[in-house]
Chains A and B, each alone.
Chain A
């Protein structure tokens, strides 16, 4: 790994953000809207639900964590799509940068985009709704790590699709997370799902992450085994994502789709 090259590719996306105020605004806007929406829903449930009545902010914390996952994945996809939209794809793939360095650069830069969007939203949730995700304590770091790995994995799978099918795969990029959300048990316990879907859901890290988040906030105890399980599952998916990305890259070379890939 050459960190100068990873830095160079990261710098390309940093410049892109810095050169455009509307782009920064766009990054902040959607997470903030989410916080407002789920903040009010959370407040309503806290006052009217038996399940949530003693726990302020469970739904809002879930919304923040889910948005973190969503932003990580979308950031990864967006950075890849930027290369296609700007017709820079060929220049990137003929530069002396290894494929693993491209993946590393996108993975590391995605966190910057994610945090630009999410930090202001997290900060406003404290004075507006009295909810702070820091209440999760130290486990928050591990929950975020697991979510980030899974978000990047989804990004890798979508970009693999872009390499395989070209820009027409773009719509899948936007839909990918909504497809998994029902199985993620973000806002409800896993028991709500039919038994067959529970089995599938347990194969995803999301269930373990959100179950544990609820556990910490509602019982004030931490089950590190659950967190560890979610990280391991995320890591397995991440490795699979990398393999799929490489396969798509070699497939694209075979089909010649790396030449002149653009809008």
Chain B
């Protein structure tokens, strides 16, 4: 198993944000993290990224506890993108990519920046300050930063939130294409059910810090007798039972 989460919990003082969750992700597969706001998705991502220390439980990468890796050794294999996390606004797109490329120790950096910029069509605003970009442009730059090191594990937190349908589709198509050409394991937190159906091999559904169901999209839709993932999400989010 590539990523294995075992009985992971997080308490903030007395409140329980994540409650003994366990799941696994196979190499080069995409797992969707679904759930209503405040269900513990971001805390879970934070724990995997080492931003939040778990109160209980383990995170294993290739059967090795994440705490046994050196910080820079393990983080070199990860990357992350979220519209809620930005790049320095006063720096140009090119400068930001250069700095993050250097921080991630990317070899042949100029070539990599050129390659990712062409792929994500960001070259025409390459010398513009990041703070002056539109939401769609910022998201593409953020995605470029998250792929600069060709991560083995990519964590995406609502990568298409607040984007128009055209740009949203561009991002989803790009991720789909990137997945098919590169070896990458993705954890995707999203509220866009169409996106989840399109990109994820399997999903886990969280509620109040717990995993209440998991499986492939088709399995969950069929299991809960609904027509699509959106209806399934609503049923699970509004129900009081575990499945």
Contacts and interface: CB of A to CB of B under 8 A. Distances in A.
A15 B91 contact: yes
A111 to B, nearest CB: 19
Contacts of A5: 102-103, 105
B86 A88 contact: yes
Interface stretch (A45-53, A69-77, A252-260): A252-260
Interface in A1-56: 2, 4-5, 7-9, 11-12, 15-16, 19-20
Most buried by B among A2, A88, A258: A88
Nearest to B51: A258
Contacts of B139: none
Interface residues of A, number: 35
B85 interface: yes
B11 to A, nearest CB: 10
Contacts of A7: 102
Contacts of A90: 51, 80, 82, 85
Interface string B11-54: 01000010000000000000000000000001100100111110
A201 B82 CA distance: 48
Contact of A88 (B75, B80, B88): B88
A82 B88 contact: yes
A257 to B, nearest CB: 9
A16 B88 contact: yes
Contacts of A19: 90-92, 95, 129
A95 interface: yes
B241 interface: no
Contacts of B100: 91, 95
Contacts of B234: none
Given A19-B129, A95-B104, A97-B103, A260 B84 contact: yes
A250 B86 CA distance: 23
Interface in A75-94: 82-83, 86-91, 93-94
Nearest to B74: A96
A98 B71 CA distance: 7
A86 B86 contact: yes
A94 B91 contact: no
B76 interface: yes
Contacts of A87: 84-86
Interface residues of B, number: 41
Nearest to B155: A94
Query: At the interface, is chain B mostly helix, strand, loop or mixed?
Result: mixed
A253 B52 CA distance: 4
A110 to B, nearest CB: 17
A256 B49 CA distance: 12
Contacts of B73: 96
Interface in A145-162: none
Contacts of A4: 102, 105
Given A98-B72, A258-B52, A259-B42, A91 B87 contact: yes
B89 interface: yes
A184 B28 CA distance: 60
A176 to B, nearest CB: 25
A96 B105 contact: yes
Contacts of A96: 71-76, 103-105
A82 to B, nearest CB: 7
A9 B103 contact: yes
A199 to B, nearest CB: 40
Contacts of B50: 94, 253
B78 interface: yes
A203 B57 CA distance: 45
B52 A16 contact: no
B150 interface: no
B52 A259 contact: yes
Q: What 10 A-B pairs come out closest when comparing CB atoms?
A: A8-B102, A96-B75, A96-B72, A96-B76, A87-B86, A90-B85, A95-B103, A258-B51, A253-B53, A86-B88
